[in-house]
Amino acid sequence: MQRADTIDQALTRFDSGELFAELARRVAYRTESNLTDGHPRLRAYLTDELAPALEALGCRTRVAENPVAPECPLLVATRHESADRPTVLLYGHGDVVNGEAPRWREGLDPWTLIAEGERWYGRGSADNKGQHTLNLFALREVLRARGQLGFNLVVLVETGEERGSPGLVEVCGELRDELRADVLIASDGPRVRADLPTLFLGSRGVTQFTLTADLRPRDHHSGNWGGVLRNAATTLATAIASIVDGRGRILVPGLRPPAIPASVREALAAVPVGGGADDPAVDEDWGEPDLTPAERLFGWNTVEVLAFLAGTPASPVNAIPGRAEATLQLRSVVGTNLAGLEPALRNHLAEHGFPMVDVAVTESRPPTRTDPDHPWVRWAAGSLARTAGRAPVLLPNLGGTIPNDAFAEVLDLPTIWLPHSYPACAQHAPDEHLLAPLAREAVAIMTGLYWDLGEKDI
């Protein structure tokens, strides 16, 4: 059987409802990792659902315990065919965010996969059960057709991604030899647009930090003390304005990235931003000037104010706040000095007259990016174009953040992500869904890619 025949066979099985039935079974597992009553089901999803599916692919499987979050185990599966063939690492996560059943539209249930028109509704249908189910489906089709994959396979599935992947970096470090591979090829996140097959090669990093102006232990009457007491809210607002201006431009040199590399600019030249039916309108005058929207979103850093609190907003009184606190976030690209972020902010605030504003970094995940000119990237883009009939959108990195540092930095792998969802899929929200036509095209793309991997010259 040849490549085209195998893809046709995979699509026939997709049309028969085989993939829908598998995904329905997996969606039914209430694997909410940030709710304690979901923890027993995390392990069951690995041992009772995924392990048998991987063993049917000829894999040896085992549960890897999580040294940081024991309630979120991981599954490791390996199929070794030949030392002369490449090894691919496949990643996915079996946990989901809260089901939030009362908030779903009437007739829908987060734990029951329901097809309505082109949409398959269910929690995890897009993030990430649908995506790793689709990849395993395509692997099975190649194995059925060829009798072997033609490459070696390592699979790693975690159950804590929706909590920030606690323990993933540590496990990858401990199991470096067992997880050894030539490339990571995985699926998560959305395409740029539903009709545009997409590759992304990493993700922006995310660093969250708080700014606090704690000036006095209590508030004071604004009529009796206004004009002689420093207002904590005004102080903090002005301090923030010295970090990021009213048009979203970063003003602290230590928080700005290096110049965008030529290969990244070239890759982003034709990347659209927005334009979908449910997308917000892009503010053309927001962010770093002289950059395109794609360069601002995927090739540059941004500082976002996520929350600001002073006084009692729901019931304000005539008092000067003694304390104000804000939570900010830096989305960063490769080359940003994250280790120097906190001292850079402290020095900047002191130089601008705000030594009373305290800085505390609360969490951080570094940015990653495989070079768009990497041979594995060119190979994957060629395979995808051959199947889809058009070149994919190539993103040097996702605008959001995924735990790619575990693979790019700890395992030192080139990383290639082929997302099977789209921006309006409602992941992390009520009415999450997988778009059936997109999923069908993705089955063809992944079947073709795994077929090509079995024939790749090394």
- pLDDT grade, residue 23 (50/70/90)? very high
Whether residue 458 is predicted with pLDDT greater than 70 in this model: the reply is: no
Beta-strand relationship, 323-332 and 302-310 = antiparallel
Report how far residue 244's alpha carbon sits from residue 132's, in angstroms, rounded to the nearest whole number: 39
Which of 126, 131, 137, 124 minimizes the C-alpha distance to 95? 124
Please provide the size of the chain in residues.
Answer: 458
Question: For the chain, which residues make up each domain, given as ranges?
Answer: 3-203+367-455, 205-267+283-365
Amino acid code (one letter) for 242: S
Express each pLDDT in 376-420 by its tens digit. 999 999 999 999 999 999 999 999 889 999 999 999 999 999 999
Q: Which tokens belong to 141?
A: 């089709």
Q: What value does the mean pLDDT take over residues 161-176?
A: 97
Report how far residue 154's alpha carbon sits from residue 331's, in angstroms, rounded to the nearest whole number: 31
Which of 297, 373, 308, 292 minimizes the C-alpha distance to 332? 297
**Average pLDDT score, the chain:** 96
| Per CATH, domain 205-267+283-365 is 3.30.70.360 | yes
Could you tell me which CATH number the domain at 3-203+367-455 has? Answer: 3.40.630.10
| 25 neighbors 122 (Cβ within 8 angstroms) | no
Cα end-to-end span (Å), the chain = 23
Express each pLDDT in 85-105 by its tens digit. 999 999 999 999 999 999 999
| Radius of gyration of the chain, Cα coordinates, nearest whole angstrom | 24
Express each pLDDT in 221-234 by its tens digit. 999 999 999 999 99
Place of tokens 């490459």: 151
| 208 neighbors 327 (Cβ within 8 angstroms) | yes
Q: What value does the mean pLDDT take over residues 271-292?
A: 88
Whether residue 274 is predicted with pLDDT greater than 90 in this model: the reply is: no
For the chain, the helix, strand and coil percentages under 3-state DSSP, each to the nearest 5: 35, 25, 40
Percent of the chain, pLDDT > 90?
95
3-state SS class at 360: strand
CA atoms within 13 A on the CB side of 131: 28
| Concatenated DSSP letters of 209-224 | EEEEEE--SS-EEHHH
pTM for the model: 0.91
Q: Which residues contact 432 (CB under 8 A, 6 or more apart)?
A: 110, 121, 122, 123, 124, 125, 126, 127, 425, 426
- pLDDT grade, residue 270 (50/70/90)? confident
- pLDDT grade, residue 457 (50/70/90)? confident
